[in-house]
Amino acid sequence: MLIRLVAGTSTIVHAVIGLRGGPQPGTALLLTFCIGLGSLVIAGLWTPIVGGLLSLTASWEAVAYPENRWYCLLVGTLGVALALLGPGMWSLDAHIFGWKRLEIRDRKERGPHST
């Protein structure tokens, strides 16, 4: 949940600051898209997909605006982590689809023919 809050809040704040500067129409559309991504990340809805999109937009912004590369590195890394880890127990994904728990059994419990 903390990863979602940091990634979502920083994305929304960064986009709102960018919109206040009077950006070009294409940039304004991207910043509005980032506000939507940040909101979905905070809510924990479609987290693996949104995390991947968040990392892609951060990668694009790192190339397009090199002065923001440290912010983009932070948000891109958090996006990848969310895409791989999932939303967690306190999210809309867990409420809608159920919370998945993986149990890794010990090698001795698997049997003689498992790898």
Domain of residue 76, residue span: 2-110
42 inside domain? yes
For 3, the token pair is 């990863």
**Which H or E run contains 78?**
helix 69-85
Whether residue 58 is contained in a domain is answered as: yes
Mean of per-residue pLDDT scores for the chain: 85
Side-chain-side CA neighbours of 19 within 13 Å: the count stands at: 14
- Coil, strand, or helix at residue 102? coil
CB atoms within 10 A of CB 12: 19
pLDDT band at 114 (very low <50, low <70, confident <90, very high): low
Instruction: Kindly state the average pLDDT of the residues 8-35.
Output: 90
**Lowest-pLDDT range, 21-25, 58-62, 78-82, 91-95?**
91-95
Residue 46 in domain: yes
Is residue 18 domain-resident? yes
DSSP 8-65: HHHHHHHHHHHHHT---HHHHHHHHHHHHHHHHHHHTSSHHHHHHHHHHHHHHHHHH-
Work out how many domains the chain is built from and give that number: 1
What's the CA angle centered on 86, arms 104 and 9, to 5 degrees?
Answer: 145
pLDDT tens, 34-53?
999 999 999 988 888 999 99
* In-domain check, residue 115: no
pLDDT one-digit tens code per residue, 62-79: 998 888 899 999 999 999
